[in-house]
Each structure stands twice: as C-alpha cells, then as structure tokens.
C-alpha cells in the first residue's frame, strides 16, 4: 500500500553523508557510485543540502540486497519492488539485487534492465523525507518511469515542479532556484516536440 501524506521528517543539518556498502555485479562499482552521486546532486541543486560519500559512519547507508535482508521489508525477486528507503533520521536505502541494474544504458534498459539513476533519485527523495506523489509525472510517483524514448534514446529523469515544491517546503531553496524556474525550463525544453 502506498502512502501519499506530507512528510515532516527531515535532516536537521545541511551536510549529509552516505556510504555504499556494496554494489550490484550487473554494473561496475564506479557506475553505481556515479548514479547514486548524481541522484543526490539532483536534489542538491534545488535545496541547500550537500552530500558526500564516506566509507563508514554515514547518515545514509546504501546497499544491494535480495529477499530477506534484516529489515521489515523483504524484496520479492525480479520485476517487483525495485528498492526501498527510510525517512530521516533512519537513513537506509536498499536496492533489490535480483533486478538487473544498469546506468544510463538505453540498449540494456530496452532489454529489461532497470536504470539505477532513475530509481536512486526516487529513493534518495525518501531518504530526504519525501513521500510518494499522486502526480504520475513526479519522480516521487510510486512506480518506475521508463528512461528510454520511442526511438531508443536515453531520457534523463528530471524533477517536476511538484517535486521541487515539496523538497523546498522541507529544506528551503538553494540560491533562489524555485519550482517557478523549473516550470519555465520545462515549458521551453519541451516546446516543439
């Protein structure tokens, strides 16, 4: 069952650390690190939070696991739940190892792999205090967004104005970037398509 409530959970500080305990054998560790860093950076562009990877003692612990993995939410094998995360200050983000993971590779995605970056943006939103959104275009919608277009090209996931509004309600804006800017950018970016 999905929840759509407004979260009141947030980090009480502006510098947040994360550690990656392990990665999937489906992709090189550096690709997993890039996808996860890029996901946190996506949020950091619109709120005054800074993220850094550390080897231990992190605020957010990230790992790949399968089935029962010492938390109350076991994974269900390939094709079901892709990942889950906890709200602050708990700081857990788990990806289902039974999925086939890739990073921004359109060919692999078209052949059934899951884009780690797209899932990491969504799940990192939960680790920052965001719940699911009813807006189907939102990064925080409770389902996976396909990241390949009808021509087989990779589509970089982007925050919607609703995503930006919700995260800025929790943390404020970074340097004047607001959802109004995002709406204008999205309008012109999509013009003529």
Does the residue 19 lie in any domain? yes
In angstroms, what CA-CA distances link 86 with 54, 77, 122, 126?
Answer: 19, 20, 12, 6
The residue ranking higher by pLDDT, 45 or 180, is 45
Does the residue 5 lie in any domain? no
Is the pLDDT confidence value at 193 over 60?
no
Sheet of strand 83-85, all strands in order from the earlier edge strand to the far edge: 50-53, 15-20, 60-65, 92-96, 83-85
145 marked among binding-site residues: no
The boundaries of the domain holding residue 26 are 15-189
Those residues with Cβ within 8 angstroms of residue 13's Cβ, 6 or more apart along the chain or in another chain: none
Domains in the chain, number: 1
Q: How confident is the model at residue 28 (pLDDT cuts 50, 70, 90)?
A: very high
158 marked among binding-site residues: no
99 marked among binding-site residues: yes
96 marked among binding-site residues: yes
**For position 121, which CATH number holds?**
3.40.390.10
165 marked among binding-site residues: no
CA distance 131 to 77: 24
In angstroms, what CA-CA distances link 137 with 3, 13, 57, 72, 97?
Answer: 17, 29, 35, 29, 26
Cross-strand bridge partners of residue 85: 93
pLDDT in tens, 91-103: 999 999 999 999 9
pTM of the complete model? 0.85
Q: How confident is the model at residue 81 (pLDDT cuts 50, 70, 90)?
A: confident
pLDDT score recorded for residue 80:
82
Average pLDDT over residues 20-37: 96
110 marked among binding-site residues: no
Tell me how crowded residue 141 is: count the other CB atoms within 10 A of its CB: 18
User: What residues act catalytically?
Assistant: 123
Does the residue 116 lie in any domain? yes
% of the chain residues with pLDDT over 70: 87
Does the residue 154 lie in any domain? yes
Tell me how crowded residue 168 is: count the other CB atoms within 10 A of its CB: 17
Is the pLDDT confidence value at 184 over 50?
no
Is the pLDDT confidence value at 187 over 70?
no
Does the residue 4 lie in any domain? no
Does the residue 6 lie in any domain? no
Does the residue 184 lie in any domain? yes
Does the residue 8 lie in any domain? no
**Lowest-pLDDT range of 102-106, 162-166, 181-185:** 181-185
CA distance 95 to 161: 26
């Amino acid at each position: 069952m999905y929840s759509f409530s407004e979260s009141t959970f947030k980090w009480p500080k502006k510098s947040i650390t994360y550690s990656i305990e392990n990665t999937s054998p489906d992709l090189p560790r550096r690709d997993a690190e890039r996808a996860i860093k890029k996901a946190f950076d996506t949020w950091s562009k619109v709120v005054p939070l800074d993220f850094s990877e550390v080897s231990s003692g992190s605020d957010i612990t990230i790992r790949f696991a399968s089935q029962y993995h010492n938390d109350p939410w076991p994974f269900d094998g390939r094709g079901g739940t892709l990942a889950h995360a906890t709200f602050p200050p708990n700081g857990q983000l788990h990806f289902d190892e039974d999925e086939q993971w890739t990073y921004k590779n359109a060919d692999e995605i078209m052949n059934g792999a899951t884009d780690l970056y797209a899932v990491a943006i969504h799940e990192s939103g939960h680790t920052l205090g965001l719940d699911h959104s009813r807006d189907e275009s939102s990064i925080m919608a409770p389902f996976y967004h396909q990241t390949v277009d009808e021509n087989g090209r990779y589509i970089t996931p982007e925050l919607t104005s609703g995503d930006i509004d919700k995260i800025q309600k929790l943390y404020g804006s970074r340097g004047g970037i607001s959802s109004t800017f995002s709406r204008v950018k999205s309008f012109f970016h999509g013009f003529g398509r």
